[in-house]
Structure 1
Amino acid sequence: MGSVTVVQEQDRAASGAGPGRRLVGGTPRQLWLLTVGLGVLALLFGLVFALALGSDSSSFASLQSRTSEVSATSDLYYELNDMDAQAANALLVGFHPADPSMVPPSVDAAASMSAYEKDRSAADSDLTHIARNPQLTGAAGKLIDSLGTYEALIGQAIYADQNTMKQLPAEPPAAALGSYTEASSLLHTTLLAQALQIADADSSAVDASYSGEHSSADLYGYVIVALALLLGVALYAGNHYHARRFRRRVSWLAGGIAVCLALGFLGLSTQLGAADDLHYAKKEAYDSINALTRARAVSDDANADESRWLLEGRTAALQTSFFQKIGNVAGVPGVSGTSAGGDPQPYYSGLSAAVAALRLDTASDSVSGVTVSGYLGTELDNITFSGEAQAAYDTTRAFDTYVQDDAVIRSDAKRGDLAASVAFDIGTRPGQSNYAFNQYMSKLESVVQINDNAFASGIAAGKSETGATTWMVLIIGELLVLLFIARAGAVRLREYH
């Protein structure tokens, strides 16, 4: 008890000291102030760590929810395009063709209208999903109204065509063509513009949200480790006070130092890991998904323009529209969509050369020699996951095959053989346009699926890393630090008394 007696004598001597010394008081008061101060700092550390984990959970849930909504808007854009493409295909061959043998059952008018109805049902479902967002309810409502008008016009066109016998290829009755042309114009000037506006707004919101959440995760990590170091220094100072005041080299606070530092570095690791998982899910997976789903929608729109070009008199405007859209999917250096509309050959040969220049390295899972721009160029420059390089390479080559087939369609039509042009356009056998287009779309979906799986994996990893196990470690560690602080103070007070 000799050391305690000395402390008590020091306290009696301090009673006559200045106001600052009297403010902190004697040893019991100092012990209480030290214990409370350390406890408050420990609670602040735990609170910040908990806020970080809560923010992480919110970030991953928000990213998953927002990207689901963006997927709905991208799907809607595709479904609207495909509705128009299917209606055009139905009118292109007619419900009662003069030569039924040239129309494969899988693409006859009835099959096309069945696909149209399937797209319409999916579009209704996506619009319902989009309308759940209060910020998009108004835009979704306008889209629903415009869609109703479009569907009515298509219904009139189909009714007129169904009552026409022995229809020649690409020669629907005037009433059917008039209603379809009005409907398609409404789709491209209003419906698709509205859908794209929603998709762009939603996509921008995802980008902005990700940027803030990624930065927050990093910042939280450094704040947590800084607080852990501060708490560790404070605990070390407290331990030093105990050693100097009570001649005890090691107190319970030493255990608190070990726990708080371990928690601090766990917090840093967790937050940096969460930031990496956000980056993996958003930048490496979802950005490719977004580009590829846009490619799917625009490709389908271009394919519809190909059918509309045959259906509506082979106009220059529809030819230019086709090349502008496929140029957005896969741009060629030095060839614009507008110039290709006037002279398609430079685009055909430019795309073929750009695709031939691609070099696939399956060993490193990479593609080099990329000069293709547009959505497919974005994907080729963002190869990340196992098997993605091969899938993206195959998709780009399949797109080139489809585009080269377009040259055959336009060549047959320009030399006056419209029946051959339509037959090649709707043909589903290898070497025909619809077959090539379906092969391309199938391969495109495989790349989307690879990135979808990676996105889901990134979200799951992030949720796991910041989930129940980390919360449990935080809670147990925080309680241990508080226990060590309280125990150290209680032991010293008991010694004093």
Structure 2
Amino acid sequence: MTARAALRRRLWATVPRRLRLLRAATVLLTAALAVLLLVAGLTSTSTWDSVAGRDAPRTTSAADLNLALNDMDAQAANILLSSGNAGKGRLRTPYDKAVGFYGDARREIGHDLRTLAVAAQGDPADEKTVENLTDDFAQYQELIGRALENDGRADGKASALVDYRRATDLLQRGLLPASRDLVSANDRNFEAEYRSAGSTLSAQLAAVIALGVLLLAVLTVLQVYLTRRFRRVLNPGVLAATVCTLLAVVLGTQVLTAGSDHLRGARRDAFDSVVALSRARAIAYDANADESRYLLDPERRDQYAQSFLAKSQKLYGLKGATLSTYDAELATTWQAYEADHGDLRFTGEFRRELDNITFPGERAAAERTVHTYAVYQRDDRRIRALLAAGKEREAVEFCMDWKPGTSNAHFGAWMAALDQVTDINREHFAASVRAGRSAVSDLLPWAGALLLAAMLLTVLGLRPRLAEFP
């Protein structure tokens, strides 16, 4: 205690020593705050790079792969349905469109697999999943190619159907579950990044406030000491340094607060909806494929009917509903929801989106998606009714045609509505990323400049007072 007291007396014994000690404390605290803001800026920039350049693209690529796999299988079924017997009795427009969409889906899958392979590097589990997907997809293409080849021969439909069954079984048991696992895994990684970044921003904000308050306190002590010791009202240099410091702290806290808000907007408000809607789109394509499979394969009609219902429940869940009761229950629960948006009588991916309405125009777009979905569901019942009445060709034509009022036309309207609400969320995700980056690049340099000015002003403000002493 005696040594400490002696040291304290020596450092604080004379006026010059006191001034130099306060000056050193001010300079060190200012430098520490500047370094903290620099680190916070670099961390924020890295976070936005990860969010926009890695986490979101990985998740959407996996979702796109899931959708393209469903679409490719649906179009393969549509080709077999509309091709006729070696070309005889072919439904020309549905066949040509199915062939075109099939090729588009196959190319999209190849692109997505390459993207995911690059993204998975360094993650053994994801690398293995992508490798298995690539191998299974090669086998799937071989089976579909054999089915289409058999279908091109006279009376080859039965053989083609056997190969198609094997292909779609491989899809349902291997490819689709793996692609869905990739969506979930990448989304979990994004969620972990989001939580970690949020915690870091909160800690940095607390540190900036604490350090800023301490620096302002030291500047205040310095100003009070100068006023009392030298009998002057205020020291201009120290006063200007205090103002600069206060502005720098305000800007720093604004950057970190804005970063946290924009990060939450990107993840919670926008991307959570993008994921739900991307899943909904993939499920929709799989359900649409189940209709084609139902018409194509009489032996599995019960299986595909139940599969269609299960996917409908994932989109708009109605407890205990069957295909015969689904439409009426959908209408009833939707009417209740329109009267009270808190009504919880349905679940599913649509519900996730409707519970996360944030942006202008989003609710109207989301509700329009459900309206078009209801029309498509009623078309499904008509297809099954036509088939039950022995009107198989009429059922196939209504299912596959693209004329206004047909099932494919209504499916296209549903997908257009779904894309619109997805685009709203994608645009706001991109806007949040841009705003988060701008907060760092636009404001932090000013905060750094103000702290440098505060440091120089403190030194210059004390120079005349120190010069008074020999």
Per the alignment, residue 257 of structure 1 pairs with 242
In structure 1, how many angstroms separate the alpha carbons of the residues matched to 2:104 and 2:268? 32
1:484 aligns with 2:463: no
Per the alignment, residue 39 of structure 1 pairs with 27
Instruction: For residue 319 of structure 1, report the CA deviation from its aligned partner.
Output: 1.2
Q: Is the 8 A contact 2:248 2:448 kept in 1?
A: no
Out of 178, 200, 217, which is 1:233 matched to?
Answer: 217
1:376 aligns with 2:353: no
Instruction: For residue 19 of structure 1, report the CA deviation from its aligned partner.
Output: 5.5
Q: Is the 8 A contact 1:86 1:112 kept in 2?
A: yes
Instruction: For residue 246 of structure 1, report the CA deviation from its aligned partner.
Output: 3.2
1:67 aligns with 2:56: yes
In structure 2, how many angstroms separate the alpha carbons of the residues matched to 1:229 and 1:53? 20
Describe the shift of the 1:19–1:455 C-alpha distance in structure 2 as closer, same or farther (beyond 3 A): closer
1:92 aligns with 2:44: no
Q: Is the 8 A contact 2:11 2:17 kept in 1?
A: no
Instruction: For residue 350 of structure 1, report the CA deviation from its aligned partner.
Output: 1.0
Out of 276, 284, 295, which is 2:280 matched to?
Answer: 295
The answer to which structure, 1 or 2, has the higher relative contact order (CA under 8 A, 6+ apart) is: 2
1:309 aligns with 2:294: yes
Q: Is the 8 A contact 1:395 1:443 kept in 2?
A: yes
Q: Is the 8 A contact 1:292 1:375 kept in 2?
A: yes
Q: How many residues align structurally?
A: 458
One-letter identity of the residue aligned with 2:171: L
In structure 1, how many angstroms separate the alpha carbons of the residues matched to 2:331 and 2:405? 17
Instruction: For residue 104 of structure 1, report the CA deviation from its aligned partner.
Output: 5.0
Secondary structure at the residue paired with 1:345? Answer: coil
1:25-50 Cα shifts (integer Å, max 9, x gaps): 53333333222221111111111122
In structure 2, how many angstroms separate the alpha carbons of the residues matched to 1:112 and 1:147? 19
Describe the shift of the 1:104–1:284 C-alpha distance in structure 2 as closer, same or farther (beyond 3 A): farther
In structure 1, how many angstroms separate the alpha carbons of the residues matched to 2:381 and 2:88? 26
Per the alignment, residue 254 of structure 2 pairs with 269
Describe the shift of the 1:440–1:406 C-alpha distance in structure 2 as closer, same or farther (beyond 3 A): same
In structure 1, how many angstroms separate the alpha carbons of the residues matched to 2:6 and 2:89? 112
Q: Is the 8 A contact 1:221 1:269 kept in 2?
A: no
Query: Which segment drifts farther, 220-229 or 478-487?
Result: 220-229
Q: Is the 8 A contact 1:357 1:370 kept in 2?
A: no
One-letter identity of the residue aligned with 2:179: A
Per the alignment, residue 110 of structure 2 pairs with 124
Query: Which segment drifts farther, 82-91 or 408-417?
Result: 408-417
Per the alignment, residue 469 of structure 2 pairs with 496
1:177-196 Cα shifts (integer Å, max 9, x gaps): 11110011001100111111
In structure 1, how many angstroms separate the alpha carbons of the residues matched to 2:69 and 2:211? 54
One-letter identity of the residue aligned with 2:44: D
1:461 aligns with 2:435: yes
Secondary structure at the residue paired with 2:468? Answer: helix
In structure 2, how many angstroms separate the alpha carbons of the residues matched to 1:98 and 1:41? 85
In structure 1, how many angstroms separate the alpha carbons of the residues matched to 2:362 and 2:87? 43
C-alpha RMSD of the superposition? 2.0
Q: Is the 8 A contact 1:281 1:456 kept in 2?
A: yes
One-letter identity of the residue aligned with 2:454: V
Percent identity between matched residues is 30
Per the alignment, residue 326 of structure 2 pairs with 347
Q: Is the 8 A contact 1:91 1:158 kept in 2?
A: yes
Query: Which segment drifts farther, 61-70 or 174-183?
Result: 61-70
1:410 aligns with 2:381: no
Instruction: For residue 369 of structure 1, report the CA deviation from its aligned partner.
Output: 5.2
Describe the shift of the 1:496–1:357 C-alpha distance in structure 2 as closer, same or farther (beyond 3 A): same
Per the alignment, residue 284 of structure 1 pairs with 269
In structure 2, how many angstroms separate the alpha carbons of the residues matched to 1:230 and 1:453? 41
One-letter identity of the residue aligned with 1:489: L
In structure 2, how many angstroms separate the alpha carbons of the residues matched to 1:18 and 1:200? 64
Instruction: For residue 345 of structure 1, report the CA deviation from its aligned partner.
Output: 1.1
1:10-63 Cα shifts (integer Å, max 9, x gaps): xxxxxxx95641354533333332222211111111111222222222222221
Q: Is the 8 A contact 1:335 1:346 kept in 2?
A: no
Q: Can you give the 5+ residue segments of structure 1 that lack an aligned partner in the other structure? A: 1-16, 166-171, 361-365
Instruction: For residue 247 of structure 1, report the CA deviation from its aligned partner.
Output: 3.2
In structure 2, how many angstroms separate the alpha carbons of the residues matched to 1:141 and 1:425? 36
1:72-123 Cα shifts (integer Å, max 9, x gaps): 11000000110100001111122545434xx251x21x43122111111111
One-letter identity of the residue aligned with 1:88: A
In structure 2, how many angstroms separate the alpha carbons of the residues matched to 1:154 and 1:212? 44
In structure 1, how many angstroms separate the alpha carbons of the residues matched to 2:8 and 2:281? 75
Q: Structure 1 stretches (4+) deviating beyond 6 angstroms? A: none
1:230-274 Cα shifts (integer Å, max 9, x gaps): 100011112222233333442222221111111112222221111
Q: Is the 8 A contact 1:395 1:444 kept in 2?
A: yes
TM-score by length of 1: 0.87
1:158 aligns with 2:132: no
Out of 208, 218, 226, which is 1:242 matched to?
Answer: 226
Per the alignment, residue 52 of structure 1 pairs with 40
Instruction: For residue 225 of structure 1, report the CA deviation from its aligned partner.
Output: 2.2
Q: Is the 8 A contact 2:33 2:211 kept in 1?
A: yes
Q: Is the 8 A contact 1:370 1:381 kept in 2?
A: no
In structure 2, how many angstroms separate the alpha carbons of the residues matched to 1:277 and 1:32? 42
1:391-414 Cα shifts (integer Å, max 9, x gaps): 111110100110111111112222
Query: Which segment drifts farther, 132-141 or 183-192?
Result: 132-141
Per the alignment, residue 7 of structure 1 pairs with none
Q: Is the 8 A contact 1:330 1:373 kept in 2?
A: yes
Query: Which segment drifts farther, 114-123 or 129-138?
Result: 129-138
Describe the shift of the 1:415–1:50 C-alpha distance in structure 2 as closer, same or farther (beyond 3 A): same
Query: Which segment drifts farther, 391-400 or 408-417?
Result: 408-417
In structure 2, how many angstroms separate the alpha carbons of the residues matched to 1:111 and 1:269? 53
